[in-house]
Amino acid sequence: MRLADLTTIRVGGDIEEFIEVDSEKDFISAVKNADKNLKKLLVIGGGSNILPQDGNFNGCVIRYSNGAGEELSSICHEFRIPYFAGIPGSLGGAVVQNAGAYGAQIADYFLSAKVFDRKTGEVIHLDIKDMMYEYRSSELKKSIGFCGGYSPRWIVLDAKLKKADMHSFSVKYPSILKELDLKHGDLVDYNTLRDTILKIRDENGVLISSNGVNKNDADRQSVGSFFKNPVVDRAKIENGQISLPHDIPLYMIPNSNLVKIPAAWLIQHSGINRMYSKGAGISSKHALVLINPQLAYYEKSGEEIRKLMNHIIMRIHETYNITLEVEPIIMQ
Ligand SMILES: Cc1cc2nc3c(=O)[nH]c(=O)nc-3n(C[C@H](O)[C@H](O)[C@H](O)COP(=O)(O)OP(=O)(O)OC[C@H]3O[C@@H](n4cnc5c(N)ncnc54)[C@H](O)[C@@H]3O)c2cc1C
């Protein structure tokens, strides 16, 4: 088995040890064994937020099919949470990353997580305070790299989310308002909102089939958004420390002096060639999405996507004095 077969960006060589488990007990004991044998550990969910190296992976990859290993999208459908429809990957991956879309994030619906602490060997429950959620981050995400691997200190066994017990949802997100021809704050029902989100995601090339990659569409071989949208102090824009063009759409974060800058817009206007190299490019549907354009396995995509990533970071820094931050886990 290659990491390319387990990741949505289809990058990565042969895995030394791949273990699939379907019970919590086996999951914990597989993690314990890997740590005991000092193996580099990667607990993998949907593999939709990882950029592996091209070479072989000398370590242990564990995939759990129940609890935290279940698909986020289907759990959210059951819980009538429309915003995360179409986000690929597992419940565990989303809880670690504080996944989010269309103005909502996991932190808004999180109740608790049952985790295995690799440091103490205990199973404990974490509540929202323990998670220390931030934009696409958490205490768990910050601990990734524990014992030299690519997973957190705390392995999520299961998590509870809040049901969105609502008949109608107030729409504020610009692309949804535009698609439905609504005014800010207008109400829509769950099905309309979910279907609209899925339609927009499909048009942006960030909707993939539940079993992984849409094999015939290179634009969908990605990790979704590659960079976070930079959040900066408004004063830095006003005093010229950050020089932005007049026509860039900015989002003022309510009750703060902060401004969110659309990274996709910066990349789109950076003049970087979309077809960067054989193994790396920018999606034709969304500039924030870096892709592996090769439908057949290509052993240099990982290296070439890293080159493109560095090139974009450098170009945006030179032009705007903004340092883009990467969203996925970049394996070293
Ligand atoms: C087409 C596409 C669209 C996307 N759209 C969005 C979006 O709209 N919003 C968004 O936020 N993200 C998006 N993403 C990124 C990604 O889907 C999310 O970050 C997702 O939550 C990752 O989950 P996963 O199970 O795939 O994690 P993986 O990629 O498998 O793992 C990522 C990290 O989480 C850790 N991890 C996974 N499961 C566990 C567990 N049980 N316990 C502890 N650690 C664990 C892994 O060890 C690894 O370090 C998109 C990705 C793609 C490919």
pLDDT of residue 214: 63
- Cα(98) to centroid(ligand 1), Å: 9
Nearest CA-CA partner of 174 in 124, 228, 69, 249: 249
**Residue 49 alpha carbon, nearest atom of ligand 1:** 29
Nearest CA, atom 33, ligand 1: 93
Q: Is the pLDDT of residue 41 over 80?
A: yes
Cα gap 98→161, rounded to integer Å: 12
- Cα(224) to centroid(ligand 1), Å: 9
pLDDT of residue 211: 54
Q: Which of 5, 27, 87, 124 gets mutated to test ligand 1 (max ligand atoms within 8 A of its CB)?
A: 87
**Residue 84 alpha carbon, nearest atom of ligand 1:** 8
Residue type at 319 in one-letter notation? T
User: Per the structure block, which two tokens stand in for 179?
Assistant: 């698609």
Mean pLDDT, rounded, for 228-254:
90
Question: pTM of the prediction?
Answer: 0.95
pLDDT of residue 24: 98
Convert the pLDDT of each residue in 60-109 to its tens digit: 999 999 999 999 999 999 999 999 999 999 999 999 999 999 999 999 99
- Cα(256) to centroid(ligand 1), Å: 29
**Residue 50 alpha carbon, nearest atom of ligand 1:** 29
Q: Is the pLDDT of residue 39 over 60?
A: yes
- Cα(6) to centroid(ligand 1), Å: 12
Q: Is the pLDDT of residue 293 over 80?
A: yes
Q: What is the 3-state secondary structure (H, E, C) of 74-87?
A: HHHHHCCCCCCCCC
Helix (H, G, I), strand (E, B) or coil at 183: coil
Nearest CA, atom 51, ligand 1: 224
Residues with CB under 6 A from ligand 1: 8, 42-50, 68, 87-90, 92-94, 96-97, 99-101, 144, 150-152, 155-156, 206, 208, 222-224, 329
pLDDT of residue 207: 86
Mean pLDDT, rounded, for 164-193:
93
Nearest CA, atom 10, ligand 1: 99
- Cα(95) to centroid(ligand 1), Å: 9
Mean pLDDT of the chain: 94
CA separation, residue 255 to residues 87, 225, 252, 260 (Å)? 29, 26, 9, 13
**Residue 206 alpha carbon, nearest atom of ligand 1:** 1
Convert the pLDDT of each residue in 5-19 to its tens digit: 999 999 999 999 999
Cα gap 214→8, rounded to integer Å: 9
Lowest mean pLDDT among 9-18, 27-36, 210-219, 283-292: 210-219
pLDDT of residue 254: 85
Residues of the chain above pLDDT 70, percent: 98
Q: Is the pLDDT of residue 285 over 70?
A: yes
- Cα(90) to centroid(ligand 1), Å: 7
- Cα(102) to centroid(ligand 1), Å: 17
Nearest CA, atom 22, ligand 1: 93
Cα gap 308→316, rounded to integer Å: 12
pLDDT of residue 292: 96
pLDDT of residue 257: 94
Domain spans, the chain: 3-161, 168-203, 218-330
| Dihedral angle over CA of 274, 280, 284, 289, nearest 10 | -110
Convert the pLDDT of each residue in 103-160 to its tens digit: 999 999 999 999 999 999 999 999 999 999 999 999 999 999 999 999 999 999 999 9
DSSP at 320: H
Write the CB contacts of 128 (distance below 8 Å, at least 6 apart in sequence).
107, 110, 111, 112
CATH class of the domain whose range is 218-330:
alpha beta
CA separation, residue 181 to residues 174, 176, 285 (Å)? 10, 8, 22
- With bands split at pLDDT 50, 70 and 90, how would you rate the model's confidence at 212? low
CATH fold label, 3-161: 3.30.465
**Residue 220 alpha carbon, nearest atom of ligand 1:** 1
